[in-house]
Amino acid sequence: MPNIRLKNINNFICHDINLKISNREFLVLWGPTGVGKTTLLNVIAGLVEYEGSVLFDDVPVDKHPVYQREVSYLFQNLALFPHLNTRANIAYGLRIQGESKNKVELRVNELLRLMKIEHLAERFPKHLSGGEKQRVALARAIAPSPEIMLFDEPLNSLDFHTARYLRTEIQQLQRKLGITTIYVTHCFEEAFALADRVVVLSSGEIVQIDSPKNIFKESDCRMVAENGYCDCHQGDKNNRTQIELEKGCSLCHQK
């Protein structure tokens, strides 16, 4: 899996971003809405225009189209195909790559077992729960064996307990497969649980990079210090203290 380097990245929101992401690292981009987290993912994927350079293992990929960057992207809305069942959704990327029917079948069956969704193989998205859709979308994303995995707030629409369970599964899967991973969230509890390192973004700039423990306990960033732990998933109110409920979440403004 490649090392990633962002060198002097600038566009409509990013301002002189310089960042190195190590092979097999789980890096979390953290900050409130509108600071450039998703835009930075799109730069890595080649989905938006930018100035500067993106390098994989010190090789510039700026002129490479999306399909040549070997990046899988799990969007916030999941983008499952409603007319395809679980098996066909997972197989989609493999078929686009022109893999043989036998190889596709073997890989899909492997992922159905890995994600524990064999019983959902013939179901269509409209018959899946939120957590089940997340599992199918994740299986589809890793089916082509990507070298880089990008997550854009994939658990944001889930209830508290489902989100907490799935983020543990995502972390374990990333460790098992060794995929270099960049994960976007505005929830610091999620960042704290998942990340090897956290990149704090504000107004399109990097303001701090460190381990989640150091950022939370020894932060010199006022934004982090003020917001601290935050879990804004639906249904989390029963898991927060009275003080937290009265204060509300300064990132999502929920109480």
Domain residue spans of the chain: 4-70+146-247
Question: How do strand 197-202 and strand 180-185 relate by DSSP bridges?
Answer: unpaired
| Pairing assessment for the beta strands 59-60 and 26-30 based on DSSP bridges | unpaired
What is the DSSP pairing of strand 51-56 with strand 4-10?
antiparallel
DSSP states along 3-36: -EEEEEEESSS--SEEEEE-TT-EEEEE-STTSS
Tens place of pLDDT per residue across the chain (255 aa): 689 999 999 999 999 999 999 999 999 999 988 999 999 999 999 999 999 999 999 999 999 999 899 899 998 888 899 999 999 999 999 999 999 999 999 999 999 999 999 999 999 999 999 999 999 999 999 999 999 999 999 988 888 888 888 999 999 999 999 999 999 998 888 998 999 999 999 999 999 999 998 887 765 555 555 554 444 444 444 444 433 434 444 334 333
The one-letter amino acid code at 250 reads: S
pTM of the prediction?
Answer: 0.84
Q: What's residue 229's pLDDT? A: 42
Residue 121, pLDDT score = 98
Out of 1.25.40.80, 3.30.70.2740, 3.40.50.300, 3.40.50.1820, select the CATH number for domain 4-70+146-247. 3.40.50.300
pLDDT at position 227, please?
53
Q: Report pLDDT for 79.
A: 87
